[in-house]
Structure 1
Amino acid sequence: MKLYTIDTELFRLDGGAMFGVVPKALWNKLLPADENNMCELAMRCLLIKDEERLILIDTGIGNKQDEKFLSRYLLHGSNTLDKSLAKHGYSKEDITDVFLTHLHFDHVGGAVEKSGKLLAPTFKNAVYWSNKSHWNWAKEPNARESASFLKENILPLQESKQLQFIDIPKNHELISFTDNISIRFVSGHTKDMMLPQIRYKNRTVVFVADLIPTAAHLLTPYIASYDMFPLQTIQEKTIFLEEALAKDYILFFEHDAQVECCTLCKNEKGKVVVKDSFTTADII
Structure 2
Amino acid sequence: MNLFPINAGNLKLDGGAMFGVVPKSLWQKTNPADANNMIDIATRCLLIEDGNRLILIDNGMGDKQSEKFFSYYHLWGNHTLDGSLKAHGFHRDDITDVFLTHLHFDHCGGSVQWNTNKTGYEPAFKNAHFWSNKDHWLWATQPNRREKASFLKENIIPLEESGQLKFTSLPENDLQNNSELGFDIFFASGHTDKQMIPLVKYKGKTIAFMADLLPTAGHLPLPYIMGYDTRPLLTLNEKEKFLNLAADNNYYLFLEHDANNEIITVKKTEKGVRLDTVYTTEEIFN
User: Could you state the TM-score of these two structures normalised by the residue count of structure 2?
Assistant: 0.96
SS in 1 for 2:148: coil
Once residues 192 and 40 of structure 2 are traced to their aligned partners in structure 1, the CA distance between those partners, rounded to angstroms, is 22
Offset, 1:204: 0.4
Once residues 190 and 179 of structure 2 are traced to their aligned partners in structure 1, the CA distance between those partners, rounded to angstroms, is 22
What is the aligned partner in structure 1 of residue 56 from structure 2?
56
Offset, 1:264: 1.0
SS in 2 for 1:174: strand
What is the aligned partner in structure 1 of residue 203 from structure 2?
201
Once residues 189 and 224 of structure 1 are traced to their aligned partners in structure 2, the CA distance between those partners, rounded to angstroms, is 8
SS in 1 for 2:233: helix
What is the aligned partner in structure 2 of residue 112 from structure 1?
112
The yes-or-no answer on 1:272 pairing with 2:273 is: yes
Offset, 1:184: 1.1
Q: Which amino acid aligns with 2:275?
A: V
Once residues 146 and 109 of structure 1 are traced to their aligned partners in structure 2, the CA distance between those partners, rounded to angstroms, is 15
What is the aligned partner in structure 2 of residue 254 from structure 1?
256
Offset, 1:8: 1.6
What is the aligned partner in structure 2 of residue 77 from structure 1?
77
Asked if the contact 2:175–2:184 (Cα under 8 Å) also holds between the matched residues in 1, the reply is no
What is the aligned partner in structure 2 of residue 25 from structure 1?
25
Which of 229, 239, 244 aligns to 2:246? It is 244
Could you report, residue by residue, the CA deviation over 1:176-211 in whole angstroms, capped at 9, with x for unpaired residues? 245741111110000000111000010000001000
What is the aligned partner in structure 2 of residue 164 from structure 1?
166
Gaps of 5+ in 2: none
Once residues 112 and 68 of structure 2 are traced to their aligned partners in structure 1, the CA distance between those partners, rounded to angstroms, is 19
Once residues 173 and 46 of structure 2 are traced to their aligned partners in structure 1, the CA distance between those partners, rounded to angstroms, is 27
Once residues 138 and 192 of structure 2 are traced to their aligned partners in structure 1, the CA distance between those partners, rounded to angstroms, is 12
Offset, 1:271: 3.4
Asked if the contact 1:177–1:183 (Cα under 8 Å) also holds between the matched residues in 2, the reply is no
Percent of residue pairs bearing the same amino acid type? 54
What is the aligned partner in structure 2 of residue 155 from structure 1?
157
**RMSD value, Cα:** 1.2
Offset, 1:283: 1.4
Q: Which amino acid aligns with 2:8?
A: T
What is the aligned partner in structure 2 of residue 92 from structure 1?
92
What is the aligned partner in structure 2 of residue 123 from structure 1?
125
Asked if the contact 2:12–2:73 (Cα under 8 Å) also holds between the matched residues in 1, the reply is yes
SS in 2 for 1:283: helix
Q: Which amino acid aligns with 2:276?
A: K
